[in-house]
Amino acid sequence: MPHLQIGPHTVTPPVVLAPMAGITNAPFRTLCREFAGGRGLFVCEMITTRALVERNDKTMQLIRFGPGEQPRSIQLYGVDPGTVGKAVRMIADEDLADHIDLNFGCPVPKVTRKGGGSALPYKRHLLRSILREAVGNAGDLPVTIKMRKGIDDDHLTYLDAGRIAVEEGVTAVALHGRTASQHYGGTADWEAIARLKEAVPEIPVLGNGDIWSADDAVRMMRETGCDGVVVGRGCLGRPWLFGDLVNVFAGSPERTRPTLRQVAVVMRRHAELLGEWLEDEARGVIDFRKHVAWYTKGFAIGSQARRDLAMASSLAALDELLAGLDLDQPWPAGAEGPRGRTAGAKRVVLPDNWLADPWDVTAAVTAEAESDTSGG
């Protein structure tokens, strides 16, 4: 079974759960880790550096890890080098995590319009300053980055960003094979992942985009030469995908094809874990609602049943609704394929004159870009 080396941490199989806002909280990570037998690397949802430094209550909850989570992995979003440095130093000094990832891939307008996320690597010197502060304050903790190809096809940044990352001591880079303008539409460009691997042979390169099955992960590594994969939307409503990934990298043909009854058991456990984590059963079930469509995709349960499940507000109500389904249904062919956000090409909203000069040494983002809200 191949492995991925992230600083002192050996990740076997070479699989990383992508941080997703509102999704990769402790309960979902627990499910994924259980199916994987504890193998792999599971990243918490995005934490903003300002919110962490200010010890925002929600943020401090989001960075709570379970007793079995090793290594503990945090993804940070920040645009101000000084604030990023303070947040990283806080994590290192207070032993809050074992690995830090930096987000330079978010394409949503509320982030890019302020110069953050996938817009930021266009300003090469700003990117370098942030990475220097992060690595310089991390102590022994490995720092990695996740990014996209660039803003659009006319403003690609990933090769420059990869070289800057190597020069500043970043441990590994992950590339989502789409531009910000593609958002989550179209097809991920796996050839770009191969080009990045050729450009930065000194450090591991992870590929991300359009991994919907365990076999997709192996195919990506074979076609691109990347050192590992980052799985995002492919595991929505499919936490057992990580068990499949363990199997495929071990050479086993075994894949999880649960019946609806087995899926219902996982759904119920997911909702229960959320309630325990939030210390409120109703809040947990309400938070679970967004997962219903992903778990039930492809199964013949009817639109009304899906709506009812997505309106449950207690475990008892959820149990009753699940019991009313035809639970003996086998795994359907229609359960495979894309899930989650699939929106196509969009104009990327950027700060005024952002594209004027990628090497502008005075480029900076305003304080407004330093969001005080973690988790997206």
Is 90 labeled as ligand-binding? no
**Residue 204 carries which side chain, given as an amino acid letter?**
P
Query: d(Cα 353, Cα 169) in Å, to the nearest integer?
Result: 30
Query: d(Cα 93, Cα 85) in Å, to the nearest integer?
Result: 12
- Do 47 and 60 meet the contact criterion of CB atoms below 8 Å apart? no
106 is catalytic: yes
Is 214 labeled as ligand-binding? no
Is 13 labeled as ligand-binding? no
Is 233 labeled as ligand-binding? yes
Query: d(Cα 214, Cα 151) in Å, to the nearest integer?
Result: 29
Is 20 labeled as ligand-binding? yes
SS (H, E, C) the chain: CCCEEECCEEECCCEEECCCCCCCCHHHHHHHHHHCCCCCEEECCCEEHHHHHCCCHHHHHHCCCCCCCCCCEEEEECCCHHHHHHHHHHHHHCCCCCEEEEEECCCCHHHHCCCCHHHHHHCHHHHHHHHHHHHHHCCCCCEEEEEECEEECCEECHHHHHHHHHHCCCCEEEEECCCCCCCCCCCCCHHHHHHHHHHCCCCCEEEECCCCCHHHHHHHHHHHCCCEEEECHHHCCCCCHHHHHHHHHCCCCCCCCCCHHHHHHHHHHHHHHHHHHHCCHHHHHHHHHHHHHHHHCCCCCCHHHHHHHCCCCCHHHHHHHHHCCCCCCCCCHHHCCCCCCCCCCCCCCCCCCCCCCCCCCCCCCCHHHCCCCCCC
Is 99 labeled as ligand-binding? no
Catalytic residue among 44, 106, 226, 235: 106
Angle among Cα 20, 64, 244 to the nearest 5 degrees reads 50
Q: Which residues are annotated as a binding site for FMN?
A: 19-21, 75, 146, 176, 232-233
Q: Which residues are annotated as a binding site?
A: 19-21, 75, 146, 176, 232-233
Q: List active site positions.
A: 106
